Amino acid sequence: MIRVPLRPLARILQARSKGENPDVIERENLRLRHEAMRDKARARAEGRLLVLGLFFFVAFSMVGARMGLLAASEPVEPATASTDSAIVAQRADIVDRNGRILATNLLTSALYAQPPLMVDPQRVAVELVKVFPDLDQAQLVKDFTGTRKFLWIKRKLSPEQMQAVHDIGDPGLLFGPREMRLYPNGTLAAHVLGGAGFGREGVHSAEVIGTAGVEKTFDTFLRDPANNGAPLQLSLDLTVQAAAEQVLLGGMKLMKAKAATSVLMDVRTGEILSLVSLPDFDPNTRPAQPTSGDPSDSPLFNRAVQGVYELGSTFKIFTIAQALDAGLVNVNTMVKTASPMTWGKFKIRDFHNYGPELSVQDIIVKSSNIGTARVALMIGAERQKAFLKSLGLFVATPVELMEAPGAKPLVPRKWPEITTMTVSYGHGLSASPLHLAAGFATIANGGTLVKPTLLKQSQPVIGPRVISERTSAIMRGLMRDVVTHGTATFGEVPGYFVGGKTGTADKAKPTGGYYKDKVIASFAAVFPITDPRYVLVVTLDEPVDTSTGEARRTAGWTAVPVGAEMIRRVAPLLGLRPAIDPATGAALTVAQVQE
């Protein structure tokens, strides 16, 4: 590069000769040189900025274009990559604890009409009514010949119906694919499963949404594609549930009860193995929610969870357990039981008069209201409330059913001494059979709180301690006494060491007061009591036993035999081996094999 000299000799000499300062020339040249350098640097920087700006512009345009493209394009499955996904339905299956299907999906079709495409609307209407007798021919003709461009005719079609509609052969009748929820076992576990219906509907597909039960509680889980079609596994056992429903239905008819419910629960994990509420319904054709009348009369009403009843003497177990745990009494403490017991303007009576005093053990065995009330007075209202609260009897059960949070126990607002006394034997506080089952499981399993759940658990769930191990053992002994020589002698099942407590509560009138001849009979059982595994609660609504010619309504004659039969049927299915002395040889019956 040719540099312009800062001090060009010719000009310097010229300036010198004129007597000027030659440094001015040098400064001038230096300035010019700097200006030139600056201009060059500026041009280069501007160029770089332009390139960088261009680069960013292109980059952001790419991002924007890609986003626009992604947003606007139809989603397609990757065609060349191999897919492992086995999702075939938009809703996952529900299975029982052994993987047997409780709810699945079936592909079917929906029928719709486009009247403008129709060739002969009159004939189509006639033919359609032949296939679907529930349709109204006049209405169809009106719809087909009117201004409507589109109408749904049927939401679900069977293949036979679809063929029949095909045979009509009109271009205005069209089919859209539909997924429908199928409950292959019919009414089995209907109240747990709930039901499903269609949400938003289009011609090519329709949303299937849960309307009740676990279908609604786990709606998001069941519809989540990220699960890759993994089924929802419940803690229910299909076989046990079927046997329990059969036994309970038989028992309900035999005892002429209006309704019945049973809960079978694992005492260690709180898993519900069977939950029956009768009368029931078929979730495939779930009836509509009744708009008038008592909701509890509808078959949709889940008595085990939603039905809050005064459960009667079964609550005595809680009172006595607390008194024993607090060291207020022991099993041999004598308590006054002179009947009737007068407290202010109230009178408490026993079923029979049990004499002037009973031991705590006999209070449970004979089910004395007065004895329990006196023990409750020793405990006091505050401690009683705290204990019942710790058993979870003041809040709705945490079970995973849509209906559960709405079924809060009815707890008296004020808690005077008379409430302490009535609650101690199960009156004045209404709870659901599921609450009772969880409470009994807590008392029987060694004293740790059990939370009922409908999901299969892989390991025992140890809750916070409610009563001591020792109290739990004593209570198990008392429950066993009730069955061997107390109010539940019909509850004995050879080999299974059943323990439990009966409860017969007068039904409360909606207008206040109690019915004389309508009761809720409950039997809460724990088996085998030597090493508790399961707790069973059977509750019959308005039962009466007339087998002896005399109308008996107490739980010992109604709920207990049903409970015992259920244990006899269900325990072998649960894999419980009866403890029978092998020496007697009564255990083994030789199979008769026919050739």
Partner 1 sequence: MRNMLFLASALAVMGLAFWAYRENYQTQQSQRTVRALQNEIGALREALSVQRAEWAYLNRPERLAELANLNFDRLNLLPLDPGQFGEVVAIPYPAPPAPVADLPEGAIESPVDVVGTRSAEGTAP
> By the criterion CB under 8 A, which residues form the site for partner 1?
77, 79-80, 83, 86, 88-89, 100-101, 104-107, 182, 184-186, 188, 238-239, 242-243, 246, 493-496, 568-569, 571-573, 577-578, 580, 582, 585-595
Distances in Å between the Cα of 348 and the Cα atoms of 315, 353, 373, 519 are: 16, 11, 9, 18
Which of 398, 424, 428, 426 is CA-nearest to residue 410?
A: 428
Report strand pairing: 232-233 vs 94-95: parallel
Report strand pairing: 430-431 vs 357-359: unpaired
DSSP state, 456?
A: P
Q: CB nearer to partner 1: give 2 or 588.
A: 588
Q: Are the C-beta atoms of 527 and 554 separated by less than 8 Å?
A: no
Q: CB nearer to partner 1: give 142 or 577.
A: 577
Nearest-Å Rg of the Cα atoms of the chain is 39
Nearest approach in angstroms of CB 239 to partner 1 is: 7
Among all chains, which residue has been given the structure tokens 């001038």?
A: 28
Ramachandran quadrant class, 392 (left: phi over 0; alpha: psi -120 to 50; beta: rest): left
Nearest approach in angstroms of CB 544 to partner 1 is: 27
Which of 422, 428, 397, 205 is CA-nearest to residue 307?
A: 397
End-to-end CA distance of the chain: 118
Report strand pairing: 206-212 vs 195-201: antiparallel
Task: Give the burial class of 113: count Cβ atoms within 10 A of its Cβ; 0-12 exposed, 13-18 middle, 19 or more buried.
Answer: buried
Chain centroid to CA 48: 65
Among all chains, which residue has been given the structure tokens 């700097």?
A: 34
Q: CB nearer to partner 1: give 167 or 595.
A: 595
Q: CB nearer to partner 1: give 118 or 493.
A: 493
- The one-letter amino acid code at 577 reads R
| Longest pairwise C-alpha distance within the chain | 153
Nearest approach in angstroms of CB 86 to partner 1 is: 6
- The one-letter amino acid code at 435 reads H
Nearest approach in angstroms of CB 593 to partner 1 is: 6
Which of 464, 453, 486, 452 is CA-nearest to residue 317?
A: 486
Q: Is 178 helix (H, G, I), strand (E, B) or coil?
A: strand
What are the phi and psi torsion angles at 339 (to 5°)?
-110, 145
Nearest approach in angstroms of CB 570 to partner 1 is: 9
Q: Per the structure block, which two tokens stand in for 584?
A: 């007697």
Nearest approach in angstroms of CB 480 to partner 1 is: 18
Q: CB nearer to partner 1: give 162 or 377.
A: 162
Of all helices (H) and strands (E), which one includes residue 469? Answer: helix 469-485
User: Is the C-alpha dihedral spanning 548, 550, 556, 560 positive or negative?
Assistant: positive
Nearest approach in angstroms of CB 207 to partner 1 is: 19
Which of 90, 130, 98, 125 is CA-nearest to residue 227?
A: 90
In whole angstroms, what is the distance from residue 344 CA to residue 148 CA?
74
Nearest approach in angstroms of CB 585 to partner 1 is: 6
Q: CB nearer to partner 1: give 291 or 592.
A: 592
In whole angstroms, what is the distance from residue 244 CA to residue 241 CA?
5
Q: CB nearer to partner 1: give 105 or 368.
A: 105
Nearest approach in angstroms of CB 281 to partner 1 is: 15
Peptide bond into 279 cis (omega under 30): yes
DSSP per residue over 413-437, as a string?
SS--HHHHHHHHTT-S-EE-HHHHH
Q: Is 574 helix (H, G, I), strand (E, B) or coil?
A: coil
Residue 73 designated active-site: no
Nearest approach in angstroms of CB 270 to partner 1 is: 25
Q: Which position among 262, 313, 368, 430 bears the catalytic label?
A: 313
- How many other CB atoms sit within 10 Å of the CB of residue 93? 18
Q: Which residues are catalytic?
A: 313
